[in-house]
A and B are shown apart, each in its own frame.
Chain A
Amino acid sequence: MSVHVQTPQTPLRVAVTGGTSGLGLALVRAFVGRGAKVAFVARTAGAVAAVAAETGAVGIVGDVARKDDIHRIALQVTAALGGLDVLINNASDLGPVPLALLADTDCEDVERALQTNLLGPFRLSKALLGALAGAAREGRGGVIVNISSDAAVTPYETWGAYGASKAALRHLSQIWDAELAGEGVRVLSLDPGDMDTPMHAAAIPGADRTASQRPEEAAEGVIAATLSALPAPEAMSP
């Protein structure tokens, strides 16, 4: 698959949350490898610095679950990239670890899952919507990708906090996608499938790791779906 670079002067501008491990890290590496300008967000300063040094992407330290961090993150994204074409809300919280029955789940674990998996993507998308709609008016398109899960659709026992938050995110994505059609901004809910990631290992400690796809493979699917939601280069204004 070739990279979707509009012109040599204006590479795709991408922001990824949860960019220092698992799928998020694979997305940062893959987008950078394809010539995109990438900014990523994660909570731990040391990990952010290491990924920034490795990839050349712009690292931003912040927690999407914290309301006070959202506009600070958005400001650094648009300052560094000069705008934004693609936002990937990837950072996720599993809820209680180890997984637990809902009746054994602390309310605080549900709150944290909702903050990270639902309110964080909502707030960050809202704060960056002006930039994304601006990109759409310039003919570049604008895409928000909310990373989902089959747990958003299927009510798996012990996945209550995570599954409920991801189900809400999926519904929000579908409503917002319809509402933003007139602005030229797409909102996608993408399920990358089971992956061999730190989160998956936390959820299912004894799982056969070779049965899951590598995050690098899952990233390819997310990138393909993202690029197909952008206008085709020949349809773009000069």
Chain B
Amino acid sequence: MLMLSIGDWFSKLKSDFILNFVQDDRYKLILSGLGSTLVITFFAAILGILLGIILALVRSSHDKMIDELRPGFGKGLLKVANFIANIYLTIIRGTPMVVQLLIAYFIIFASSNNGVIVAIIAFGINSGAYVAEIVRSGIMSIDNGQFEAGRSLGFNYIQTMVYIVLPQAFKNILPALANEFIVLLKETSVAGYVAIVDLTKAGDKIRGITFSPFMPLLAVALIYLILVTIFSRLVNILERRLRNNER
């Protein structure tokens, strides 16, 4: 009797699986959704890191140098840039991601049909604000003596940053950056709000067709989990390698 019910359960599971993934090639929906999720995450992360580094350099340069700089064009420019950076950070960190995405899609890029590119821009701009604060904390964590040593050898401000401060800062902030990347990956699951079929939306779509929520949603969760786990492993390896370099 018991054997029979387990057998029943398995056969139900099997038919559930076939219904949700095999029938009408529905697994392809999941795959293309996964593709969209990865594309959006990857390019948004690159955009976010670029924006974040620029913002962090503006903010930390301002904090470090503004009292030292002589009045002139450079000082004025830095002040304006810092002002803009602060407004950007305030707005992005002060409003929900979904709202930003909706505004980007329906207002700012209303004429665009390419949801994925709009999403990349919206997620990248959002991530940039968080990366900026991470990078800035990294720069601030480096002893000022490192900066002075670089300058005393004859490096200019940017060279000192690139050769001496940022490589050390990067090592310190790697765990926080990895965390931000994971957050970004999972946050792209709201892309469905603007008619993008990402991984989450794909699972939800299947659920809507088959009226069987268990399989598709759990599959989606499992895929996210696997992605995050693989990525965490890679970061761990990178971290260990960077640390080994020092001793």
B and A form one assembly: no
Q: Could you list which residues of chain A lie within 8 angstroms of chain B, going by C-beta atoms?
A: none
